[in-house]
């Protein structure tokens, strides 16, 4: 059975083909909504408490009433995961303005990243964009077109992910990832002042390494050029090594910090399953 055969729309389990959202919904018309993408391992969601906390905070910030508690969200996810017989992949929870109420849509998808992707590593293409200002940068909103277009451009050029830079050369984040570089055994990631999303996996890596081995700071293109290792993170990838940055190749066999994180993050991920 396809992983997208059934969805949960406003707590109703429906076939994906029969699910309908009003054409007058501001979520559809104006992108007034937020979402969380949650990794599913052996039929169970990973880091669900962290995703629920961010979803609730983002809904509040965008004036989307949402009072679903963690246990209820877990139950709803299990219903969709079970209906779609999904073992490994992801579940996406979308909240959107639905007139006087907040609509909720939950879908699932099979895992897109086989083990060999981690052996090969991601290839990043830098893309220039405007500076990130305003409160929306801290939330996963439905206004996602810039990221979609940048990533499609990167894929068409033979890369796996786009990396956003400001015109001044300040590193922000990937189209769907947070970035880390390693220099002298220390991992550095763009500070939130640069405008990246405060990712769940990003926070997990910072916690695993601790302040002695990981730091947040303003990163520039010069920092990219002098990095001995580069990796990206998000909820689905966990820790993904980077083997190419534009025209520069990076030797994954000489990336001890990244390789150690691959194992330690997966252990943390497994321990979070609920």
Q: How confident is the model at residue 133 (pLDDT cuts 50, 70, 90)?
A: confident
Same domain, residue pair 10 and 82:
yes
Same domain, residue pair 17 and 96:
yes
Same domain, residue pair 103 and 126:
no
Among 18-22, 98-102, 215-219, 221-225, whose mean pLDDT is lowest?
A: 98-102
% of the chain beyond a pLDDT of 70: 99
How crowded is residue 167: how many other Cβ atoms within 10 Å of its Cβ? 9
Q: Which of 123, 119, 156 is nearest to 230 (CA)?
A: 123
Last residue of a domain, one of 110, 133, 154: 110
- Domain assignment present for residue 155? The answer is yes
3-state secondary structure of 11: coil
Please give the Cα distance from 228 to 244 (Å, whole number).
12
% of the chain beyond a pLDDT of 90: 92
Last residue of a domain, one of 110, 141, 164: 110
- pTM (2 d.p.): 0.95
Query: Is 3's pLDDT higher than 80?
Result: no
Q: What is the pLDDT of residues 163-187, one digit of tens each?
A: 999 999 999 999 999 999 999 999 9
Which residues 6+ apart lie within 8 Å of 101 measured at CB? 65
Which residues 6+ apart lie within 8 Å of 99 measured at CB? 22, 24, 25, 26
Same domain, residue pair 93 and 145:
no
Last residue of a domain, one of 62, 93, 110: 110
How crowded is residue 53: how many other Cβ atoms within 10 Å of its Cβ? 14
The domain of 59 spans 6-110
Same domain, residue pair 158 and 199:
yes
Same domain, residue pair 137 and 221:
yes
- Provide the pLDDT for residue 1: 40
């Amino acid at each position: 059975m396809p992983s997208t055969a059934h969805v949960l729309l406003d707590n109703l389990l429906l076939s994906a083909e029969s699910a309908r959202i009003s054409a007058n919904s501001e979520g559809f018309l104006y992108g007034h909504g937020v979402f969380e993408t949650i990794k599913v391992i052996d039929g169970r969601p990973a880091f669900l408490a962290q995703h629920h906390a961010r979803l609730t905070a983002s809904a509040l910030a965008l004036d989307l009433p949402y009072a679903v508690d963690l246990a209820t969200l877990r139950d709803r996810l299990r219903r969709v995961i079970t209906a779609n017989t999904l073992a490994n992949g992801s579940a996406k929870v979308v909240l959107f303005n639905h007139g006087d109420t907040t609509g909720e849509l939950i879908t699932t998808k099979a895992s897109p990243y086989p083990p060999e992707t981690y052996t090969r590593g991601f290839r990043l293409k830098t893309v220039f964009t405007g500076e990130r200002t305003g409160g929306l940068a801290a939330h996963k909103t439905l206004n996602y077109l810039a990221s979609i277009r940048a990533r499609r451009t990167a894929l068409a050029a033979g890369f796996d992910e786009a990396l956003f830079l400001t015109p001044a050369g300040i590193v922000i984040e990937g189209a769907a990832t947070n970035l880390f570089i390693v220099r002298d055994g220390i991992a550095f990631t763009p500070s939130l002042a640069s405008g990246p999303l405060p990712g769940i996996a990003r926070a997990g890596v910072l916690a695993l390494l601790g302040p002695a081995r990981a730091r947040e700071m303003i990163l520039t293109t010069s920092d990219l050029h002098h990095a001995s290792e580069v990796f990206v993170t998000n909820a689905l990838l966990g820790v993904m090594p980077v083997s190419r940055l534009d025209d520069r190749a990076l030797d994954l066999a000489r990336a001890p910090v990244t390789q150690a994180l691959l194992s330690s993050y997966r252990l943390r991920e497994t321990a979070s399953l609920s």
